Structure 1
Amino acid sequence: MPTVRQLFSEQDFQEAIDKKLRIRVFHNDHLIDSGSIIIRFTEETVITQSSVSELAYHPRQECQFFEVRK
């Protein structure tokens, strides 16, 4: 069973980048992104990448981010 941990702080996001952790993103209790990695984040936005040319921009205040470890 996978371990799920919510990402809150700058440290959490930086750790996810450094370790290339797969994440899940929820918006309004709906899963909108799964299995991608965080490539960059700011105070307003988290940018994820799921394939070579597929980037997604998520508003940090409106979404919930979860690390998924198997």
Structure 2
Amino acid sequence: MPTIRRLLTEQDFQEALDRQLRIRVFRNDHMVDNNTLIIRFTDETVITQTGVSELTYHSRRDSQFFELKK
């Protein structure tokens, strides 16, 4: 069972990006993205990539991000 840590700060997002950590994304208490990588983030948006051409844009205000640790 993986351990989950919430990503809140710029440092959390930068660490997930630098270390290529897998994350889960929730919106309105529903998982909308799983086992994905952060490829870029701004103050308003986090861009994740699951596959070669599968990019997803998530609002930082409307979504919750969690790092997966195995």
How does the TM-score come out when normalised to structure 1? 0.98
- Following TM superposition, the consecutive aligned residue runs of length 4 or more in structure 1 with deviations greater than 2 angstroms are none
* Pair 1:46-2:46 in alignment: yes
Aligned residues between the structures:
70
Please list every run of 5 or more consecutive structure 1 residues that lacks an aligned counterpart in the other structure: none
What is the aligned partner in structure 1 of residue 35 from structure 2? Answer: 35
Q: Distance in 2 between matches of 1:47 and 1:31?
A: 16
Across the aligned residues of Structure 1 and Structure 2, the Cα RMSD in angstroms comes to 0.5
Identity of aligned residues (%): 66
Residue 18 (structure 1) shift: 0.6
Normalised to the residue count of structure 2, the TM-score between the two structures is: 0.98
> Counting strand residues as a fraction of each chain, which structure ranks higher?
1
2:67 equivalent to 1:59: no
Task: In structure 2, list runs of 5 or more residues that go unmatched.
Answer: none
